[in-house]
């Protein structure tokens, strides 16, 4: 006979993995090395990986694993079976190998490339613009997520510069340094 109705007792607080264990801040998942964003997979796979992270079951890769298609050691994300190149080529989710027409998030390679462009733009821009950009990034950064990519994804970085892209801004600032023009027109 099955029991119906509310549970017999209610938990007073939610279960937390590693509740009594102090986490080393320099390990992956700690404050200084947060886990990477989950991207480039289908929604179902993203939910599975989030669940593993939430309940302490997530095991990060220590070394790259083999891709099932090309057999190269190019899989750098945990629980993935295909490398990003093969997954894009076949148009499938790199974790479950199902048709990836609705992939969630962005690939880590795209995020890294955009981060390099941002660093290049920061290196070549004026001190005033650099500080203004960093202030805007810190002000709009969510408290729980210390990554800088969320602001870049929303396109707010481009709104702070006069150029259409960060690469154009870096080129314009280099040209101004060469000609001696100190001012860059901001629209």
Domain-wise residue ranges, the chain: 41-104, 108-179
- 156-172 pLDDT, tens digit per residue, is 444 445 445 556 666 66
Answer whether residue 87 shows pLDDT above 70: yes
- 98-157 pLDDT, tens digit per residue, is 886 778 877 767 777 888 888 888 888 888 888 888 888 788 765 554 444 444 444 444
- In the predicted model, what is the mean pLDDT of the chain? 76
More confident residue, 145 or 18: 18
pLDDT at 158: 47
Residue 67: pLDDT band with limits 50, 70, 90: very high
Residue 175: pLDDT band with limits 50, 70, 90: low
Token code pair at residue 109: 């390679």
Answer whether residue 55 shows pLDDT above 60: yes
Whether residue 153 contacts residue 106, with contact meaning beta carbons closer than 8 Å, is answered with: yes
């Amino acid at each position: 006979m099955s029991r119906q109705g509310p549970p017999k007792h209610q938990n007073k607080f939610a279960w937390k993995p590693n509740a009594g264990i102090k986490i080393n801040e320099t390990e992956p998942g700690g404050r200084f090395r947060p886990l990477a964003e989950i991207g480039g997979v289908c929604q179902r796979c993203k939910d599975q990986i989030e669940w593993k992270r939430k309940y302490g079951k997530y095991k990060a890769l220590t070394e790259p694993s083999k891709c099932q298609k090309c057999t190269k050691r190019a899989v750098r994300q945990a629980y993935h079976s295909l490398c990003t190149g093969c997954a894009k080529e076949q148009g499938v989710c790199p974790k479950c190998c199902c048709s990836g027409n609705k992939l969630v998030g962005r690939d880590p390679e795209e995020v890294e490339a955009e981060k390099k462009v941002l660093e290049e733009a920061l290196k070549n821009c004026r001190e005033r613009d650099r500080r203004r950009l960093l202030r805007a990034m810190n002000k709009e950064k969510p408290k729980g997520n210390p990554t800088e990519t969320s602001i870049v994804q929303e396109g707010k970085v481009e709104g702070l510069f006069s150029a259409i892209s960060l690469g154009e801004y870096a080129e314009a600032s280099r040209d101004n340094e060469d000609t001696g023009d100190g001012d860059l027109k901001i629209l």
